[in-house]
Structure 1
Amino acid sequence: MEGAIHNIDLIIIGVYFIAVMLIGLYVARGTKTGEDLFLGGRTFGWGIIGLSLFASNISTTTIIGLSGAAYSSGIVQSVYEWMTGIPLIIAALIFIPLYLRSRITTIPEFLELRFDRRSRKFFSVVTIFTSIVVDTAGGLYAGAIVLKAFFPDLVIWQTTLVLALVAGIYTAFGGLKAVVYTDAIQAIILIFGCSVLAYLMFEKLDFSWENVLAAAPDGHLSIIRPADDRSLPWPGLILAVPILGFWYWTTNQYIVQRILGARDINNARWGVILASFLKIVPLFIMVIPGTMAIGLFPGLDNADQVFPTAVMNILPVGLIGVVLAGLISAIMSSVDSTLNSASTLLVVDFVKTRNPDITDKETVKYGRMTTLILMAVAAIWAPMIENFGGIWAYLQQMFSIIVPPIAVLFLVGVFYKRGNKEGAYATLIWGTIGGIILFVLGQLGYWPLHYVYNVGIMVVISALLFILVSRATPAPSGEQIELYTYKKDLINAGMENVPWYKDYRYQIVLLLVVIGYFTVVFA
């Protein structure tokens, strides 16, 4: 790989590091209570929510994984990005009003209100595990891979440790408010840096879409793939993408936490609509550039090196520093979010349920301690991801195990009012065990189906299990049905005296038109 990083680029990166740390520590001065630490005092407006949702999701895992997948197997993996609007629309219509009315701090807390404490504890443990072992560690590993491309002498485990320390310190002391404010800055840097790189790559191809198509193999720019495709077979667009998306954007603590911190229901809804439109952008500045790289850098052995190779060979001095700062931004924005959410779950769902009378000062102390401990665990695990193949494959394999039973409890549990605590707990236990069995059989070569089929199979099994066990056991209480299940007034909540252009329902219609357009174009 040609090119080298210049001192000017190092200065830009250094300035970025210092700025993020100072912002995080400045915000920490106002973090006095548990609600400040975990929900930013419930003061967030729609702009900060939308930018933070975008930045916390667009990690180095996404940039490196998606561009690598676009290079090796096509743009089909990008549907996880630009179809984000579908689960967020469901969240805006139904789950945001349910969550905000409940005044919950954690998503597992909602399961206790709807079912019982067993479901809350189980879901919380699973979420903490995935937040640290999958999300945080995956982000650290991807970040280390990027930096190693620029600095070949770096050692992966040492690099992940340093990255974890930087993000962990300001997260531990500043809490969610530090996370969302730094995320907003990081989102802007990410979009700018990746847009510049995409523009210059397209320039190398004479701004010709025909040149992009000429270099790409047949079907590379289509999201409809054969049923036996190894990346994402077409049934996965129905069986897996909607379910994985729903879990991630509607029930995942590290994503939903900034929504729970909204100042009101309208700002929460506008924030997720903004994030939905922003999530279409990666198709053009991360995914398609991965396809452009086929013509510009043919024959790369490791797909995870596509983005770093493009940066080193395309960008001039100074802009390398900007893009690298954007990549570091991606590391920080994902790591800080997952650390804060995992800490929130540990303190709120375990420490405070055992000791409900602990003071705000003690709550903040526990929150900071757990953040630093979880940071260390993620840094230790991150180098192990190298044994799982591509970053994107690692993430999707892990998600396919835990998502189906959780998605069923929320999607079915909110609409099926007969669903009860026994059905919920049985679904979590046996649905998760079933997912693990299919995963292990697949790794051993005894189960040939792609993981997207496993998601669909386990969703059906989990739904049947939930319904059958619920029907065979006592019905839930009237309060659980009344306050924590679907009602028509949820959709209209907060819309009184709102002008049409601020009505989130009109915004949803526009979003669906845009998503539908790109679905047809890339079918």
Structure 2
Amino acid sequence: TSKPFLPQLIAPQTPALGMDSSTKINNPADISVIVIYFLVTLAVGLWAMFLSNRGTVGGFFLAERNMVWWPIGASLFASNIGSGHFVGLAGTGAAAGIAIAGFEWNVSDTDLNKRDMFSGAIFIQMAMGLNLYLAIITLLGVTGLYTITGGLATVIYTDTLQTFIMMVGSLILTGFAFAKVGGYEAFMEKYMNAIPSNTSYGNISIDPKCYTPRPDSFHIFRDPITGDLPWPGLTFGLSILALWYWCTDQVIVQRCLAAKNMSHVKAGCVMCGYLKLLPMFVMVMPGMISRILYTDVVACVVPSVCEQSCGTKVGCSNIAYPKMVVDLMPNGLRGLMLSVMLASLMSSLTSIFNSASTLFTMDIYTKIRFGAKERELMLAGRLFILALIGVSIAWIPVVQSAQSGQLFDYIQSITSYLGPPIAAVFLLGIFCKRVNEEGAFWGLLIGLVVGLARMIAEFAYGTSSCVNPSNCPKIICGVHYLYFAIILFGISCIIILGVSLITKPIPDVHLHGLCWTLRNSKEQRIDLDADEKQEDEGQGILKLTYNWFCGFNQKKGPKLSKEEQEERKKKLTDITEVPFWRNIVNINGIILLAVAVFCHAFFA
């Protein structure tokens, strides 16, 4: 039976996440660090608000397209690395070994703000003893405030701060973890022996494969049939998800569009790529060490023991990282690590809120209100963020009941059902001029229907675990989600090409600069742009202050002539680069690729 919301909100915290109150963050050193973190974040946010023009659509949603490479790279990383990584990557590492790091090296996972809310709340619930909903509402309040008022520039600059905090904090914890376990060699040996002491309940003995570390725990490439992350799926299925996430996800693309020029875009992406090499060592391996240190809790398999330890019957691997932080770190550093989790959570949420607001305002609201003025669009975008905050709170019990003890795996399976059709449309739209709107529409529609059918079936039959497998029929759920991504991508491509070939092509005059063969075309592309109307009204000091705080004030520059407008438009769409910087960025891209290949080979 469902429980009412208010009792959940105000009820005292149960000891389900099991820890002594003496280990919680309730000492002056930890609290001081957290307060300093919030003050610094607030200062950076206010500085960015003063610096940027938030009163126009371009200023609020694209930071006036004037960002340099290093905050873009930091923001890409911070937007991608949410608290779901610290909880989910470490948890899956604790349960199944290092293979999950292949998601970071091949591509990445996606960012769903609901899973980040849940995983961040797990950490705060353990560290501070706060109720789940109270923790979430507090976080949403702080995050929503500077996202609604600040715009993309504020989000990017605060993301840069969050990236620095995340890296420093996670590297410190990694050092503590390896020192505690006795070094890398001892880590490899002890992990394979991290078996819980309680492996039966009543007259039932649990299958040893459910609690014994996998023989291939220290291998990324695993058996194509019996592996939990089969290597063909990791290589090809994950590449499809990479195409979808890094090339079409609004959060990522919006940051790239905010860059000064193409060289800054590429340099920011390369910087993000270097940072993405680290999660294996600062998230996955610490999660595995947590299993060594707290075997009976993190690796529990008996439902009653798991429920007592972490509040869920299907496994406690999700608390691997937060438990180690709370139990292992000294006062002060524990507060720093909570700041790390807050940083990862807030950076992901601000990114989601700003980008979703952009999509709603520019792609939906403008179709509903054709003549909407700039001020109205800004207000609509901010109100949509408030709506997202409400949806985030409402979604928490759904994720809480669906998560199977391996949060990261749950997230990835969802993206495998919904991402491939979008990736197919994007890839064919770029490289095949013959693809048209009809083909894209039907390929996307049918692909999403097939993906939703699989997703709904898995939800309907419930979450499975090693101890209690799902009853979902093999014909529906038997195909690994990474293999399913490959199949779904193929189906979508066939439908897109088939429908496009039997319908009218799009004339080249509408495609200049939009597809690969016409990317360097100098001809004018014919499209429709709505004329923006400026609102001019007298304002008093109170209204000016209110408009500045909410980002409604528009910094009006000199009126541009038609020639100047054309020149500005050409500059914004120019993809040429200075040869020297182009070569520097390309060389770094090749080095990054070589390092990623080496890491795969070393841990293969």
Q: Does TM, scored on the shorter chain, surpass 0.5?
A: yes
1:304 is aligned to 2:281: no
Considering fraction of residues, name the structure with more helix.
1
SS across alignment from 1:335: helix
**Inter-partner Cα distance in structure 1 for 2:169 and 2:343:** 11
Indicate the residue corresponding to 2:114 in structure 1: 137
8 Å contact kept, 1:84–1:276: no
Indicate the residue corresponding to 1:471 in structure 2: 501
SS across alignment from 1:494: coil
Displacement over 4 Å in runs of 4+: none
More deviation, 290-299/44-53: 290-299
Corresponding residue to 1:396 among 407, 412, 415: 412
Indicate the residue corresponding to 1:276 in structure 2: 273
Indicate the residue corresponding to 1:428 in structure 2: 444
Structure 2 counterpart of 1:380, one-letter code: A
8 Å contact kept, 2:512–2:518: no
User: Does the C-alpha gap of structure 1 residues 83 and 15 become closer, same or farther in structure 2, counting only changes over 3 Å?
Assistant: same
**Inter-partner Cα distance in structure 1 for 2:80 and 2:220:** 21
Structure 2, unaligned runs of 5 or more = 1-18, 193-212, 301-315, 462-471, 521-573
SS across alignment from 2:165: helix
CA deviation after TM superposition for structure 1 residue 261, in Å? 0.5
Indicate the residue corresponding to 1:179 in structure 2: 155
Indicate the residue corresponding to 1:157 in structure 2: 133
8 Å contact kept, 2:178–2:187: no
8 Å contact kept, 1:146–1:308: yes
Corresponding residue to 1:170 among 132, 139, 146: 146
Q: RMSD in angstroms over aligned alpha carbons?
A: 2.2
CA deviation after TM superposition for structure 1 residue 464, in Å? 0.5
CA deviation after TM superposition for structure 1 residue 212, in Å? 2.6
Identity of aligned residues (%): 30
The residue correspondences of 1:40-439 to structure 2 (distance < 5 A) are 40-84=63-107, 135-152=112-129, 154-216=130-192, 217=213, 218-229=215-226, 231-299=228-296, 300=298, 301=300, 302-389=316-403, 390-439=406-455
1:509 is aligned to 2:590: yes
More deviation, 449-458/292-301: 292-301
More deviation, 40-49/25-34: 25-34
8 Å contact kept, 2:439–2:497: yes
CA deviation after TM superposition for structure 1 residue 495, in Å? 3.4
Larger RCO, structure (CA 8 Å, separation 6 or more): 1
TM-score by length of 1: 0.86
TM-score by length of 2: 0.75
CA deviation after TM superposition for structure 1 residue 336, in Å? 0.4
8 Å contact kept, 2:263–2:581: no
8 Å contact kept, 1:50–1:275: yes
**Inter-partner Cα distance in structure 2 for 1:356 and 1:271:** 35
CA deviation after TM superposition for structure 1 residue 282, in Å? 1.1
**Inter-partner Cα distance in structure 2 for 1:339 and 1:204:** 39
More deviation, 14-23/470-479: 14-23
**Inter-partner Cα distance in structure 2 for 1:52 and 1:370:** 22
Query: Per-residue CA shift, 1:173-222, capped at 9, x if unaligned?
Result: 00111111110000000000000000111111222424334423421111
More deviation, 13-22/56-65: 13-22
Query: Per-residue CA shift, 1:135-166, capped at 9, x if unaligned?
Result: 111111111111011123x2212221211111
8 Å contact kept, 2:166–2:340: yes
CA deviation after TM superposition for structure 1 residue 20, in Å? 2.0
Indicate the residue corresponding to 1:487 in structure 2: 517
User: Does the C-alpha gap of structure 1 residues 212 and 238 become closer, same or farther in structure 2, counting only changes over 3 Å?
Assistant: closer
Indicate the residue corresponding to 1:4 in structure 2: 24
SS across alignment from 2:220: coil
CA deviation after TM superposition for structure 1 residue 481, in Å? 3.8
Count of matched residue pairs:
475
SS across alignment from 2:112: helix
CA deviation after TM superposition for structure 1 residue 394, in Å? 2.8
SS across alignment from 2:295: coil
User: Does the C-alpha gap of structure 1 residues 499 and 333 become closer, same or farther in structure 2, counting only changes over 3 Å?
Assistant: closer
Structure showing greater Rg: 2
CA deviation after TM superposition for structure 1 residue 488, in Å? 8.4
**Inter-partner Cα distance in structure 2 for 1:362 and 1:23:** 27
Query: Per-residue CA shift, 1:42-83, capped at 9, x if unaligned?
Result: 111000000011111111001110000000011111111122
**Inter-partner Cα distance in structure 2 for 1:229 and 1:173:** 50
**Inter-partner Cα distance in structure 1 for 2:417 and 2:187:** 40
1:452 is aligned to 2:533: no
**Inter-partner Cα distance in structure 2 for 1:348 and 1:321:** 40
Structure 1, unaligned runs of 5 or more = 88-130
8 Å contact kept, 2:418–2:448: yes
8 Å contact kept, 1:156–1:383: no
**Inter-partner Cα distance in structure 1 for 2:139 and 2:263:** 35
